[in-house]
Amino acid sequence: LAKTTQPISMDSYEGQEVNITCSHNNIATNDYITWYQQFPSQGPRFIIQGYKTKVTNEVASLFIPADRKSSTLSLPRVSLSDTAVYYCLVDSNQAGTALIFGKGTTLSVSS
C-alpha cells in the first residue's frame, strides 16, 4: 500500500505558483521522498527527490520539514502544459523493491 496521502485534485490558473502537499506520517529513517508527473497517455516521469530541507531543480522545488512527516512540491508559474497527475512517493531506494504509487493529485491548469 502507498504510504502517502495527497489531495485528489487541484485547480490553478496559468502563471500561479502551485503547492501540492503530501502526508507521510510513517516515513522511515532511510526513506526518500520522490515526486513523479504523469501526462495523459504517457508514463510517469521523475520530477524531484529529497531527504530533508529543500531541494530545487529546473522544474520544481521540494520542501521537507524537519520531522519529514510531510512534504510540499512547489511548481512556480504553472502553464497549461503542467496539467497532469502528480504522485508523491516515499521509498528507501533499496535493491529488490519497487516504487509503490498512490492515486496522485490531478492538477488542472486553466487560462
**Under the criterion CB under 8 A, does residue 91 sit at the interface with another protein?**
yes
| Burial class, 111, CB count within 10 angstroms (exposed 0-12 / middle 13-18 / buried 19+) | exposed
Strand order in the sheet with 18-23: 18-23, 70-75, 61-64, 53-56
Which of 58, 66, 81, 94 binds another protein (CB under 8 A)? It is: 94
Angle CA 80–86–87, to nearest 5: 170
For the bound state, the minimum distance from the C-beta of residue 77 to another protein, rounded and expressed in Å, comes to 25
CB nearer to another protein: pick between 98 and 111: 98
Answer yes or no whether residue 81 interacts with another protein by CB under 8 A: no
Q: How far is the CB of 15 from another protein (least distance, A)?
A: 27
85 contacts another protein (rule: CB under 8 A)? yes
Q: What span, in angstroms and rounded, lies between the C-alpha atoms of 72 and 54?
A: 10
Beta-ladder partners of 63: 54, 72
99 binds another protein (CB under 8 A): yes
Told to check if 29 binds another protein by CB under 8 A, we report no
Residues of the shown chain interacting with another protein in the complex, contacts defined by CB under 8 A: 32, 34, 36, 41-46, 49, 85, 87, 91, 93-101, 103-104
